[in-house]
Amino acid sequence: MARLGAGSVSPNPMVGSVIVCDDQIIGEGYHMAYGQAHAEVNAIRNVFENHANAKELLKRSTIYVNLEPCSHFGKTPPCADLIISNEIPRAVIGCRDPFDQINGKGIEKLKNAGIEVIENILTDKCLDLNKRFFTRIQKQRPYIILKWAQTTNGYFSPLDQSQKWISSKEAKQLVHRWRSEEDAVLVGKNTALADDPKLNVRDWSGRDPVRIVIDRRLELPTDLNVFDQTQNTIIFNNIKTDIVGKIKYLELEDFDNLLPQLIAYQLYLMDIQSLIVEGGSKTLNLFLASGLWDEARVFISPQTWEDGILAPELKGNASEVQNIGPDILKIWHNKT
């Protein structure tokens, strides 16, 4: 249930809830969109919509939720209070919410009301589900995914920086799905110039991410797709801070030191919870060298080239390997 909110609830976590009475599911719901009702609200509402004796059933029910119910007034009232007011006697919770205003307080409120609380059920899966949310809260930065394609013999792009497609149409569609699930996608100046990417989700159904371009001296021509005003776009530079329609120019004072860290912190301040870094080689290596990444997703094409710019190198073995059309997708997770 929680996963159904992917791409729609950020910077909130994905949360699902199921209500069971006498071994039967009587209600279910999930957090559908940021600023709208939380999972527990939708699950309880679902019980009332489908059962004439909802009040009686809830008094004998167990509510299951993957994340601790909130205990404070935010954009919506506290879910813990709703559970208490409906006299649900038992709550099963996957993991605690690390957000300072909630962490343990929702559980404490339920227990103080006499509700039996069972914690830490499938905790690893619950933590993995909301790894973007937890990264933003605990590390004050977005969850960062590095993505690129390379040939079988390790080349990333042509020497002359011209555009040459490596991966398959199946891989391209998957990348567009990924973009719909993450908050933002980032490229460097050279990639914007060579590929003129749109950085949207035209091959998938979903919302477009925020486009981010690193252009230190604002040298990119404004007739490129990233300036077409169809999506919110951020241009990191060292010349100006300004807003032109959907394009936000953000000045960074220091491009020579800790650039990935500066970008990540600025995005955190803007409530951008997850980021795909799509290149090019210089930009990807910058994030790799800083250790500032959580996943690397690499498509390996059956193509071989005689020469080219070498792809970034990752140490160790991939934690996941799968076939995507004619390509192989390898995924690494940063354990540091």
Distance of alpha carbon 333 from alpha carbon 296, whole angstroms: 7
Is 320 assigned a catalytic role?
Answer: no
Six-digit token string for 9: 């609830």
Residue 195 among known ligand-binding residues: yes
Q: Please give the structure tokens belonging to residue 77.
A: 């009232």
Residue 65, amino acid: V
CB count in 10 Å sphere of residue 140: 11
Residues 28, 40, 49, 170: which is the catalytic one? 40
- Residue 311, both tokens: 């792809």
Task: Output phi, psi for 90, to 5 deg.
Answer: -145, 135
The answer to whether the annotation marks 230 as part of a ligand binding site is no
User: Per the annotation, does 182 bind a ligand?
Assistant: no
Q: Which residues of 79-99 are buried (b: 16+ CB within 10 A; e: fewer)?
A: bbbbbbebebebbbbbbbbbb
Find out whether 96 is annotated in a ligand binding site: no
191 is in an annotated binding site: yes
Q: Consult the annotation and say whether 21 binds a ligand.
A: no
Please tell me whether residue 17 adopts helix, strand or coil conformation: strand
**Beta strands of the chain (E only): which ranges?**
16-21, 24-30, 62-67, 90-95, 116-118, 143-150, 155-157, 184-188, 210-214, 233-237, 242-244, 247-251, 274-277, 295-300, 309-310, 320-324, 327-333
Does the annotation place 199 within a ligand binding site? yes
Give the DSSP H/E element, type plus range, for residue 193. Answer: helix 189-195
135 is in an annotated binding site: no
The answer to the question of whether 38 is labelled as a binding residue is yes
Known catalytic residues are 40
Residues making up the binding site for substrate: 179, 202, 278
Q: Residue ranges for the binding site? A: 38, 70, 79, 149, 165, 179, 191, 195, 199, 202, 278
Binding site for Zn(2+): which residues? Answer: 38, 70, 79
